[in-house]
């Protein structure tokens, strides 16, 4: 961290996690995935030119994999700032235990803090308003409680996604309805900036414009296409014991300078 302005000025930043942090459903200009972490890095670089950024997140990763594969690499980089969000894929599985996840998370937090990094943790979304995910609400709430307690114990900041009701709008989500879309990623990046004290011109709380009405037939056709293109393949991978991240590596495996400016407001 630079010394002349402690708020929002970092020399190096590493993002750890799964598809949420990798940036699925937020395509960049070159077709690669972008996401809130890339957007946050752009905001940080606007206040600290020369910021170096790595994103080790890989879609489909379980918390244990993030801890064993990504945390040691990040600790060796000794960055000023680390964002850590993982555990959602574990909770999607029948045996996902939020208490056990919290124990693994604390191991990661201890190591990253020991390497001198400021650590930012993320709570899970409130799925109570999503019919297909409502049954997970209790487990997510329990895990969030652990996350907040760990943050207090180890002096970490928290980006609390649970009360972000602005993300309840379907336009915040991608076509797969599981990952945030461009506008959702933009708002999460702005929320992270707020937590870190990074000045930004936009407000993540900004109300949505009125949505265009859809007739019943169009809505059902959209649901059927979603089931065919996303739900069925996802269920198939679960049955085969496969992950969307099998064979994949980090999109930005080493610290390197951030080029360009934060993406402009999304048109949705």
Q: Is residue 218 assigned to a domain?
A: yes
193 touches 34 (CB < 8 A): no
Its pTM stands at 0.89
- Segment 56-94, tens digit of pLDDT: 999 999 999 999 999 999 999 999 999 999 999 999 888
Burial degree of 263 (CB within 10 A; 0-12, 13-18, 19+): middle
Instruction: Find the domain containing 113 and state its range.
Output: 12-257
Q: Is residue 6 assigned to a domain?
A: no
Please report the sign of the dihedral spanned by the C-alpha atoms of residue 55, residue 58, residue 62, residue 68.
negative
Q: Is residue 1 assigned to a domain?
A: no
The CATH number given to whatever domain includes residue 87 is: 3.40.50.1110
Q: Is residue 5 assigned to a domain?
A: no
Q: Is residue 2 assigned to a domain?
A: no
Number of separate domains in the chain? 1
Q: Is residue 57 assigned to a domain?
A: yes
79 touches 41 (CB < 8 A): no
Q: Does residue 37 or residue 222 have the better pLDDT?
A: 37
Phi, psi dihedral angles at 13 (to 5 degrees): -145, 130
- Segment 217-255, tens digit of pLDDT: 666 776 667 556 655 565 666 666 666 666 789 999 999
Rg (C-alpha) for the chain, rounded Å, is 18
State mean pLDDT over 98-125: 98
Q: Is residue 265 assigned to a domain?
A: no
């Amino acid at each position: 961290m630079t010394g002349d302005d402690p708020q929002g000025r970092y020399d190096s930043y590493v993002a750890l996690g799964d598809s949420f942090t990798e940036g699925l459903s937020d395509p960049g200009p070159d077709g690669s995935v972008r996401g809130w972490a890339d957007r946050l890095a752009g905001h940080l670089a606007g206040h600290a030119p020369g910021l170096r950024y790595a994103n080790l997140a890989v879609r489909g990763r379980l918390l244990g994999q993030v801890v064993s594969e990504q945390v040691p690499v990040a600790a060796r980089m000794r960055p000023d700032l680390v964002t850590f969000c993982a555990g959602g894929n574990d909770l999607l599985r029948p045996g996902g235990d939020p208490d056990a996840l919290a124990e693994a998370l604390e191991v990661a937090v201890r190591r990253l803090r020991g390497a001198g990094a400021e650590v930012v943790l993320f709570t899970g979304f409130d799925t109570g308003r999503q019919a297909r995910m409502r049954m997970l609400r209790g487990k997510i709430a329990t895990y969030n409680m652990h996350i907040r307690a760990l943050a207090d114990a180890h002096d970490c900041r928290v980006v609390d996604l649970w009360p972000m009701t602005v993300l309840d709008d379907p336009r915040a989500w991608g076509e797969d309805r599981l990952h945030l879309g461009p506008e959702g990623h933009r708002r999460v990046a702005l929320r992270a900036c707020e937590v870190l004290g990074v000045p930004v011109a936009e407000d993540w709380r900004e109300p949505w414009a009125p949505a265009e009405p859809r007739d019943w037939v169009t809505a059902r056709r959209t649901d059927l296409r979603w089931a065919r293109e996303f739900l069925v393949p996802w269920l198939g991978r679960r049955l085969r014991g496969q992950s969307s991240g099998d064979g994949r590596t980090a999109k930005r495996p080493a610290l390197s300078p951030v080029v360009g400016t934060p993406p402009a407001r999304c048109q949705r």
